[in-house]
Amino acid sequence: MDKTNDKGISAAQEPGYRPRTQAVRGGHKRTGFNETSEPIFLTSGFVYGSAEEAAAAFATPTAGRFVYSRFANPTVAVFEERLRQLEGAEACRGTATGMAAVYAAIMSLVRAGDHVVASRALFGSCHVICSEFLPRYGVTSEFVDGTDREGWKRALAKPAKAVLLETPSNPMLEIIDLPFVIDLAHKAGAKVVVDNVFATPLLQRPIDLGADVVVYSATKHIDGQGRCLGGAILGPKWLFDNDLGQFLRHTGPAMSPFNAWNLLKGLETMPLRVDAMCKAAHGVARFLEGRKGVKRTLYPLLDSHPQAVLARTQMSNGGTVVTFELDGGKEAAFRFLNALRLIDISNNLGDAKSLICHPATTTHQRLKPEERAQVGITDGVVRLSVGLEDEQDLIDDLKRALASA
Ligand SMILES: *Cc1c(COP(=O)(O)O)cnc(C)c1O
């Protein structure tokens, strides 16, 4: 069994460990078998020693007894506790996908008649939830250009229930000033939900900056090896004890225990992977910037990034994605993608394998042309998620493909 402190708490679970330690150790309390790796409890339900015990478990659902894996599961709980420690949040719940996390977080905050303000440059499905789904339930929504301070002031001059934003944004890597927007949102009566996927828990800490809720697609850097889908919601305990807890319990977007185990293994190496990927992404961005055939290169740590100063104050590193615009529009972008030999064409990101996509015809094809134009996604824009390959091999691949584009 684990070594425990004088309060009976597993010594490895005491507060105060640093992120790399939390990523490896967080949440795992060994069972009587003294296993090294976290066990997978691939079970839908749990049994009771007596009818009285079953009745008691249902009477006080918060008593910590596992009842049914839609409500909670031991392996999922280890994942939730590990991510909770890393994020520095009061509570965490895993979900089946990142979109399930976004949807549950927003839906549990609003009622018919409420208003939601969101940054315009949102992940495609998040945009659809705000623009198409919320209005069906009597919730109005409006979009603000994330970098437009006056726009935020105008939108949040009237009451709102929730603000949903993403920074850096997908795919144009716009940086939103978190303390500025959070302060305005709170004055308008809104809770702030930050989609922190591009920054990961390691590079940007929205809760420390005042955000109420943080959501992740665990499919991205947390798994980081292309194996499974997952999501997570982090925030204050009151939210989970009330609306959000009930929403998750009764609508059922639960994380699979097997996926939770994969994601636990992903968290163990995430700090090392993200660190190496950021370093390579910065190198690739420096290579691309100013190169013939490349109109512009976006990476938060480049001095040419429109919000380079804000990026450096808000984030501890630049992230793993580089977005760039090729001369020659869609034809040149397609020729370039097709000429790559190592980097795969795929719409995922945060993976150990470098992946590239053409947002205008894939991830963002559902937007109207004028909406794409508003966020700067021209036909020449490509988004590169830098993986763990040798940086020079990636640069060689890009160089060769640029020559043939
Ligand atoms: C991928 C992604 C999502 C959705 O996550 P899924 O796991 O695919 O459901 C939401 N927001 C951002 C920023 C993403 O990159």
DSSP string, 30-71: --TT--SSPP----SB---SSHHHHHHHHH-TTSS---BTTT
* 95, 120, 125, best to mutate for ligand 1 pocket (most atoms within 8 Å of CB): 125
Sheet containing 321-326, strands listed edge to edge, beginning at the edge strand earlier in sequence? 294-298, 321-326, 381-385, 355-357, 344-345
Domain 11-266 fold is Aspartate Aminotransferase; domain 2 (3.40.640)
Are the beta carbons of 162 and 110 closer than 8 angstroms? yes
Q: Categorise residue 378: left if φ over 0, alpha if ψ from -120 to 50, beta otherwise.
A: beta
With DSSP H G I counted as helix, E B as strand and the rest as coil, what are the percentages for the chain, rounded to 5? 40, 15, 45
* 217, 347, 364, best to mutate for ligand 1 pocket (most atoms within 8 Å of CB): 217
What distances in angstroms separate CA 379 from CA 287, 288, 298, 326, one per listed residue?
22, 18, 15, 9
CA atoms within 13 A on the CB side of 358: 17
Is the preceding omega at residue 171 within 30 degrees of 0, hence cis? yes
Domain boundaries, the chain: 11-266, 270-404
- What pTM does this model have? 0.96
Residue 59 has what pLDDT?
A: 87
Of 69, 116, 119, 113, whose CA–CA distance to 94 is shortest? 69
Residue 6 has what pLDDT?
A: 80
Distance 4 CA to ligand 1 centre (A): 38
Give CA torsion, residues 169, 174, 177, 178, to 10 deg. Answer: 10
Q: How much is the CA Rg of the chain, to the nearest whole Å?
A: 22
3-state secondary structure 209-252: CCCCEEEEECCCCCCCCCCCCCEEEEECHHHHHCHHHHHHHHHC
Whose CA is closest to atom 15 on ligand 1?
197
Q: Do domains 11-266 and 270-404 have the same CATH topology?
A: no
Q: In terms of C-beta density within 10 A (0-12 exposed, 13-18 middle, 19 or more buried), how is residue 353 classed?
A: middle
Enumerate the β-bridge partners of residue 10.
Answer: 4
Residue 15 has what pLDDT?
A: 87
d(CA 181, CA 211): 9
Element (H, E) at 401: helix 391-404
Q: Which atom of ligand 1 is nearest to the CA of 230?
A: 7
Question: Who lines ligand 1 at CB under 6 A?
Answer: 97-99, 102, 123, 126, 166, 170, 195, 197, 217, 219-220, 229, 231
Can you give the pLDDT of all 405 residues of the chain as single tens digits? 788 888 777 888 888 899 999 999 999 989 999 999 999 999 999 999 999 999 999 888 777 799 999 999 999 999 999 999 999 999 999 999 999 999 999 999 999 999 999 999 989 899 999 999 999 999 999 999 999 999 999 999 999 999 999 999 999 999 999 999 999 999 999 999 999 999 999 999 999 999 999 999 999 999 999 999 999 999 999 999 889 999 999 999 999 999 999 999 999 999 999 999 999 999 999 999 999 999 999 999 999 999 999 999 999 999 999 999 999 999 999 999 999 999 999 999 999 999 999 999 999 888 888 888 888 999 999 999 999 999 999 999 999 999 988
Helices (H), 289-363: 308-314, 329-339
Distance 24 CA to ligand 1 centre (A): 24
CATH of 270-404, one of 3.40.50.1000, 1.10.10.1100, 3.90.1150.10, 3.40.30.10: 3.90.1150.10
Element (H, E) at 280: helix 257-288
Distance 217 CA to ligand 1 centre (A): 5
Of 96, 66, 85, whose CA–CA distance to 28 is shortest? 85
Distance 160 CA to ligand 1 centre (A): 24
CA atoms within 13 A on the CB side of 164: 31
Q: What is the DSSP letter of 12?
A: G
